[in-house]
Each structure stands twice: as structure tokens, then as C-alpha cells.
Structure 1
Amino acid sequence: MDDFYEIEEPKYNRTLSNKQLIMGKNMPPIDRLKIISADEFEELIEEWIYGYLRPKYKKVQKIKKVIRLAGSGDKGRDVVAFKKYSKDGSEIWDNYQCKHYSSALTPSEMWVEFGKLCYYTYIGEYSVPQNYYFVSTRGVGPKLSDLLMKPDKLRDELIANWDKHCLKNISEKEVRLVDEFKEYVEKFDFSIFESINPGELINQYKDTIYFSFRFGGGLTERPKPLKEPAKVKQEEQMYVKKLYNAYSDHKKVEINNLVKLEEHQYLFSHFKRQRNYFYQAESLRVFDRDSKPDGLDGFEEMKNEVYHGIVDIVYDEYKDGFERVRAATREAKALALSSNNALRDFADIPVKMGICHHLANEKKPDSADEILWVIDYEQ
């Protein structure tokens, strides 16, 4: 009879977050890169170009240009990044050849890419790049890696493999390695060829605003909140005017500037806090704008949540506008925001109260939808 043993109940001896319960075990980016689809890799490359390459080349030259040429007719160029852009042949540029293969790149797969560059620069279709990088999901294999380290051997191997891999695969006509063209290839500088391995690609991609949305890990740490300026700025005028109206309604005297407000120390202190809250929320708005891809607007979604959380409170009856401000901001700071909002973890009490003033700082087409602190119910 076979040996057997009783299975004991498994024990989980690590802390477990709600995110892990929902998403499962985290997969390292290097492993996720290996299983993404060709379409996802294409999207990732475009994000890498926009988020990493464009800023990189902008630092090199004031005149810069990064374009993607992938597809039929690219003549061996996928991503072209200019260090110096011109139309007279004096441009300085790098080529990034992007490959989504199921295994590491091999010489036999890449001979045609070497051949295309030699041929199209020989006939003058474009100039020789300063650098030529292979970028792929699985990196380059050991044989290709060795050849990239030995440019002279790479040249010799290309010549030896020309007829098998390049002769009929570069253009519609046969490209024979003979005469002046052969001399050109023999003198070509093969040291321009390099590779960007998957780890390096991920590290560069981490510098973009797209990383957390493709690989997870959350947003970067929120920067220190903005400090409110001593002088009220033009873009604050609407919510500040509404606060003045609330204070005037409370004291039954006109308060329309800081000088008059300073006569009421409690209200002046309240006003300073509200401006601080406004800028706490403003810092989150700027962070949201600068840390996420275009089209994803967590701050606007959060504003919408706060609006619906306080609007009925705002339109209740109060003895004056100041009491309405206090009731609305009190309600806002107690709101439990949606777990689907990417900014939820950054929305502390000052931010939620500050969003009330962001809402008050907007003019609504329908006055019944506008956040007002002084309401005429007879209108």
C-alpha cells in the first residue's frame, strides 16, 4: 500500500492587503513584460517614447524630434530619435528597433535588420544613425550579445550570412552584396549597434507617468502640498468672494476685502485655513495632472464625488452663509470616497475640505447646481 499523509490546513504567515485580495500576487514587471501581447508592447513603446525618449532628447538639443515609423516601409527604422534635427543630411539621430518575440533575439532573426541599415544608408535613403538599439520583450540571446560586443566579427558574420538572410528580404528586388556596396559594408562602423535589455527598458519606463498603470505599484509619493501665497491670486477670486459673502451674511456688515476681514479675528483665521485647504487640494490637482496619462482625471472624479456628497447639505436652510460653509466642509471631511479613485489615498481631511472651495470657485450654467454659501430661496 502506498504511503500517505494527512494534509494540514495551509497557513498564511504574511500580511495581506485588500489590494492583494483583489488583484492576487504581484507579478514583477520583468515577468509581466514577457507575457504582454504585441499590441500592448506597441502601446508600451509609444508610452516609453513619449514619457522617456522625448524628454531625454529634449535635454540634448533645443531642436529635437522623436517619431515612430514602425510598419511596412519603415526601411529598418522603428523609432527615430533626433539629437540634432535637420533636412540637409546633417542630422544626428538614434534608431530604436523594437521586437516583440517569444524568445531572446538571435543573429539569424536580426541579419536582415543589419542588412537594411547598410543598404538604405548606402543608397542615401537616410543617414547613418549615431546609435542603433535593439529593444525587445526578451532581450538578446547570448550569440547576438557576443556579436554586438565584437563589431568586426559582426561584420564578417553578416557578410557570410548575406545571401541566406538578406539577399531577398530587404526590398522587393534582390540586394546583392557586390562591388561598391560590398566595400561600403566592409567599412561600415558596426560598433553603433547595441541593445537595451528588458530590465533597462523597465527602468527607463519607470521614469514615465505610465508605469503604474501598466505594471502596478501605485502612484509616486505625493509631493509636499503647495503653500498658499500671501496675496489672493486672480484664479481664487470666485471662491474668495463667496467666502466674503458668507462672512458678511454672518456679521450683517459688508466684508469684501482682507482689511475689513481682519477686524473679525475668528473669521480671519477661518479664511486663512480655507485658503490653505484650497491649495492643499490644488497641489493634488497638479499632482494628478502631472503623474497620470492624459484622459485619466482622478481629481475631477473626486470633485464630482465631493459635490454629490455636499450639495444637499449646501441647499439646506441655515441662519447664515458662514454656518453653511461650516456644515458643507464638515460633511466633506467625513466623506468616504470611492475605492476606485486612484487618488483616494492622498485625499486627507484638508484636501476634501479644499475641494469644497474648488467647487465654489466654478461658475455653473445652472445656478441651482452651483456651490453658494449665501442662498436666496425666493429666487
Structure 2
Amino acid sequence: MNDWAKRRTRDYVDTQRWAGSGDMGRDVVGYATRRRHEGEWDNFQCKQLSSRLSEKDAFIELGKIFMHAAAGHCRLPRAYTFVAPKGVVRNVQNYVAHPERFRQAFLDRWAEFVASELVENQVVALTPEIRDAIGQFAFDSIYWLDAVGLAEDEHAVPALVKWFAYDPGAAPAGVTPDLPQDEEAPYIAQLIGLYGERCNTTFADFDAALANPDWGEHLKDQRTRYFEAAAFDRYYRDSTPSDYLSTFKDDLYHGVVDTHRDQHVDGLTRVLKVLAQASQVSPAGILGYYAKVPVKQGTCHQFANEGRLPWRK
């Protein structure tokens, strides 16, 4: 569940884990703005229970939020999600499905379920301030996730890959834009320079190199490979643990670096030899299984972009 929470909250401006004594009803918090608790925020209450989350426990957890918001310790959350592997009891499901019933239930059952459970050895009355907090809160922003829901959530896929050897499947094919993109500029400039050295000429720009009868098609192929690698990166960056992609690239780097360092007739020969070697490298793991030849060769152009294995020394 921790792996899921880290992934689920990565798109926030900031996140914080508050679990433990004094958490004020917060567990994993995602801040929507840099104002953090003074701005909009979402709460993920993660319960590692051996049974379903009970009605009383749900009331108590939300009650902490209302009590502390009423006291001015934090704003009410924008959204609240119970994360419980075994799920929630039927009454909680019904309350979540009927937000205004949920609100009224808090007002009606505060004394029964909540008042004596918030502060040790104290009974917290339903003050006008707490009543206002309950009235202001958007009960239609309460959700719950069980193990099935977690498994179906896209943010859980990397955890499933890590812990249960889940197969993330093949990456989608890359799409090569008609015009060169800024991200391609370094490796394309290097290749064009090497084409010029081989032809003993200077190509004015990308279009001039593309029109060359000897190397124009080669340049097109390299762009196709580059964008195959880019699509591969995007897909597995989201669907596998963070170290999988870096491990894949490290394996490929070590598979081609000696060929890159070898003595070659010219720079273009180095490119051709390295790309041929890349096609033969078999990185370990699920990414190695799905990495087709264009992906591995396109990754070498990424290395050239980064200066890790430049085509022109």
C-alpha cells in the first residue's frame, strides 16, 4: 500500500505522511498548492486491517478531521479516500453512495460514535464550530478503495509489477513527428555532422541532410528509433517501479560502451557499430523482454543526447 500511495500522490505539489500520534486524522496528504494546508489538499486514510473498515472507525477518522478543522488547525480536505485492502462495511458503502445521508448521520450519531473517541479521557461535544465544519465539507468527495480497486488503479501497477510479477504488457509504438523536435536536436546535429564528414561536405540543415541520397533514409530511421525509445520510456516510467527503467538503460549502456570506445575508421562507423551491437544486447528483466531492436537503438541516441555516449567526440 505504501508503494501505491507514493505513486498516487506524485502529481501533487507536495506530499506528506502524517500517520501516528498527533496526526489529526491525516495519513498520506497530497497538497494541491504550495500553500499546503492553507490551500486545497487531499487525504488518503490508509488502513491495514484484517477485516473491513467498520462504520464506527470511518466516523472516528472523519471526526478527527472535523474537530481539528473546527479548531483552526487545518482546512477541510478537498477529497478524502479510505484505503482499506478488505474494503468497508456495507453501511459505509451506502453512506459514500449517499453523501447527504452521510452528513446527516454525522450530526445524528456524533455522540454515539465519535464524541468519546477523539481525545483520550475526554468527550468532545458537537460544538457549533464542528457542526459548521460538517456542514461545509463536501461529502460527495469521500471515496473508498479495497484491494480490487487498488489493483485496478493505474497508480498501483508498478507495485503489482514489483511484488506480484504482474506483466505490464508491451509499450505502445512510437510516433515520429514530421518535423524535428527540440528534444532530438543534440543527436541529430551530431549525426548530420558525421554524414558531412563521410561525404566530405557540409549539410546546411536537417532538410539538406534528409534530401541526401546516401544518408537521408538513414536519418529517417534514426528518428523512428528515437521515438520508439521515447514511447517505451514514457510507458514503463508509469507502469513499473522507478528503478526498472534505469536498470534497463544501465544494462544497455554496458552492452555497447566498449564498442563505442573502440577505434573506428570514422565517427559514422562508430554509430553503425554501436547500433548493431545494441540490437544484440539482451537487458535483464521484463523491460529487456519487451525492448525491441528499434527501442534499444533509439536508447543509444538518448545516450548521445545526454553526452553519455556522444556520436561525435
TM-score of the two chains, using structure 1 as the length reference: 0.60
Alpha-carbon offset, residue 196 of structure 1: 0.7
| Structure with more contact order per residue of length (Cα contacts < 8 Å, sep ≥ 6) | 2
C-alpha separation between the residues in 2 aligned to 1:47 and 1:71? 21
Residue 213 of structure 2 corresponds to residue 265 of structure 1: yes
Instruction: Tell whether the 8 Å contact from 2:48 to 2:85 is kept in structure 1 after alignment.
Output: yes
Q: Which residue is equivalent to 2:243?
A: 296
Q: 2:4 aligns with which of 31, 41, 44?
A: 44
Instruction: Tell whether the 8 Å contact from 2:228 to 2:294 is kept in structure 1 after alignment.
Output: yes
Q: Which residue is equivalent to 1:223?
A: 172
Q: Which residue is equivalent to 2:54?
A: 106
C-alpha separation between the residues in 2 aligned to 1:287 and 1:42? 22
Give the alignment's Cα RMSD to 1 decimal: 4.5
Residue 68 of structure 2 corresponds to residue 120 of structure 1: yes
Residue 301 of structure 2 corresponds to residue 357 of structure 1: yes
C-alpha separation between the residues in 1 aligned to 2:294 and 2:17? 44
Provide the secondary structure at the position in 1 that maps to 2:10: helix
Query: Which residue type is aligned with residue 77 of structure 1?
Result: R
Gaps of 5+ in 1: 1-40, 55-63, 365-369, 375-379
The superposition leaves residues 145-195 of structure 1 with CA deviations (integer Å, 9 ceiling, x where unpaired) of: 566665455644442356xxx43x422552254xx7399669955993855
Instruction: Tell whether the 8 Å contact from 2:171 to 2:236 is kept in structure 1 after alignment.
Output: no
Residue 219 of structure 2 corresponds to residue 274 of structure 1: no
Alpha-carbon offset, residue 136 of structure 1: 1.4
After superposition, residues 150-165 of structure 1 pair within 5 angstroms as: 150-151=101-102, 152=104, 155-161=107-113
Instruction: Tell whether the 8 Å contact from 1:94 to 1:129 is kept in structure 2 after alignment.
Output: yes
Provide the secondary structure at the position in 2 that maps to 1:97: strand
Q: Which residue is equivalent to 2:20?
A: 71
Do the aligned partners of residues 255 and 67 (structure 1) sit closer, same or farther apart at CA in structure 2, a change above 3 Å counting? same
After superposition, residues 1-379 of structure 1 pair within 5 angstroms as: 41-50=1-10, 54=12, 67-80=16-29, 95-110=43-58, 112-113=60-61, 115-127=63-75, 132-142=80-90, 144-145=92-93, 150-151=101-102, 152=104, 155-161=107-113, 166-167=115-116, 169-172=117-120, 174-175=122-123, 177=125, 181=127, 189=135, 192=139, 194-198=142-146, 201-202=149-150, 205-207=153-155, 210-214=158-162, 216-219=165-168, 221-227=170-176, 229-231=178-180, 233=182, 235-238=184-187, 240-242=189-191, 244-245=193-194, 248-249=197-198, 251=199, 253-257=200-204, 265-289=213-237, 291-292=239-240, 295-296=242-243, 298=245, 300-314=246-260, 321-333=267-279, 335-340=280-285, 342-363=286-307
Provide the secondary structure at the position in 2 that maps to 1:134: strand
Q: Which has the higher helix share?
A: 2
C-alpha separation between the residues in 2 aligned to 1:87 and 1:362? 35
C-alpha separation between the residues in 2 aligned to 1:44 and 1:296? 15
C-alpha separation between the residues in 1 aligned to 2:153 and 2:122? 39
Query: Which residue type is aligned with residue 159 of structure 1?
Result: A
C-alpha separation between the residues in 2 aligned to 1:186 and 1:322? 72
TM-score of the two chains, using structure 2 as the length reference: 0.70
Alpha-carbon offset, residue 120 of structure 1: 3.3
Query: Which residue type is aligned with residue 283 of structure 2?
Result: S
C-alpha separation between the residues in 1 aligned to 2:212 and 2:113? 88
Alpha-carbon offset, residue 318 of structure 1: 5.7
Do the aligned partners of residues 207 and 188 (structure 1) sit closer, same or farther apart at CA in structure 2, a change above 3 Å counting? closer
Alpha-carbon offset, residue 73 of structure 1: 1.0
C-alpha separation between the residues in 1 aligned to 2:65 and 2:236? 42
Gaps of 5+ in 2: none
Do the aligned partners of residues 284 and 175 (structure 1) sit closer, same or farther apart at CA in structure 2, a change above 3 Å counting? same
C-alpha separation between the residues in 2 aligned to 1:88 and 1:363? 42
C-alpha separation between the residues in 1 aligned to 2:269 and 2:37? 70
Do the aligned partners of residues 140 and 247 (structure 1) sit closer, same or farther apart at CA in structure 2, a change above 3 Å counting? same
Provide the secondary structure at the position in 2 that maps to 1:273: helix
The structure that has the greater radius of gyration is: 1
Do the aligned partners of residues 227 and 99 (structure 1) sit closer, same or farther apart at CA in structure 2, a change above 3 Å counting? same
Alpha-carbon offset, residue 80 of structure 1: 4.8
Q: Percent identity?
A: 23
